[in-house]
Amino acid sequence: MIFNIKNNLLKEYERNNINNLILSCFSNSRLETYDEVIYYQIENNIIGFLGLSNYNNYSIINQLCINYNYRNKGIATLLLKYLDDKLTTDIILFIDKNKENTEKLYNFYLNKGFIEAEEDQYYNIDAKKIEYKMIKKK
C-alpha cells in the first residue's frame, strides 16, 4: 500500500523506519528536508520510499530507495507512477555519476519517461560533471 504524508505529520515509528531504509541505501538521510514523503508498506514494514520537495513549477524527487529484499519487483515503478498521477508540475531528480549503479539508474529513469535536462541557471557545467539532472515534463 502507498502512503503520501506531509513530512511534519509522520509518526515516530514511520520516521524511524524510513530513516533506517534510507540509511540502508544511502550514506546519510535527508528526511527532515522533504516537504512530503511517499512510501510503500507491506504489513507494518516500510519497504520503499521517496522524498519530495515541492516548488512553484516543479517538484524534486530525492532518495528513492527500495529495501534490498524487494528490489526488481516493480515497487519503485509503483511509487513513480503514483507520483506522476498526483503531480501537475514537472518532476526533477539527480543521479550521481560516480556510483556503480549509475547506468542502471539512468536507464531506469529513461524508461519511466524522464529525459536528461539541458544546462540552465540552476544546473551548470560544473554540476553536470558529477551528476545527471533528469526531468519528466508535464
Mean pLDDT calculated for residue range 37-41:
97
Q: pLDDT tens for residues 82-120?
A: 999 999 999 999 998 888 889 999 999 999 999 998 766
Which residues pair with residue 2 across a beta bridge? 40
Residue with the three cell numbers 540509511: 23
- Judge if pTM exceeds 0.95: no
Has residue 20 got a pLDDT over 90?
Answer: yes
Has residue 75 got a pLDDT over 90?
Answer: yes
Q: Which residue has the higher pLDDT, 129 or 81?
A: 81
Q: pLDDT tens for residues 45-61?
A: 999 999 999 998 899 99
Task: Name the pairing type of β-strands 131-136 and 58-66.
Answer: unpaired
Task: Extract the C-alpha cell encoding 118.
Answer: 539541458
Q: Which domains does the chain have, with CATH numbers?
A: 1-88 (3.40.630.30), 94-138 (no CATH)
Question: Around Cβ 134, how many Cβ atoms within 10 Å?
Answer: 21
On average, the pLDDT of the chain sits at 91
Q: Buried b vs exposed e over 56-72: b needs ≥16 C-beta within 10 Å? A: eebbbbbbbbbbeeeee
Has residue 123 got a pLDDT over 60?
Answer: no
Has residue 126 got a pLDDT over 80?
Answer: no
Residues 6+ apart with CB under 8 A from 136: 84, 90, 91, 92, 112, 113, 114, 115
Has residue 122 got a pLDDT over 70?
Answer: no
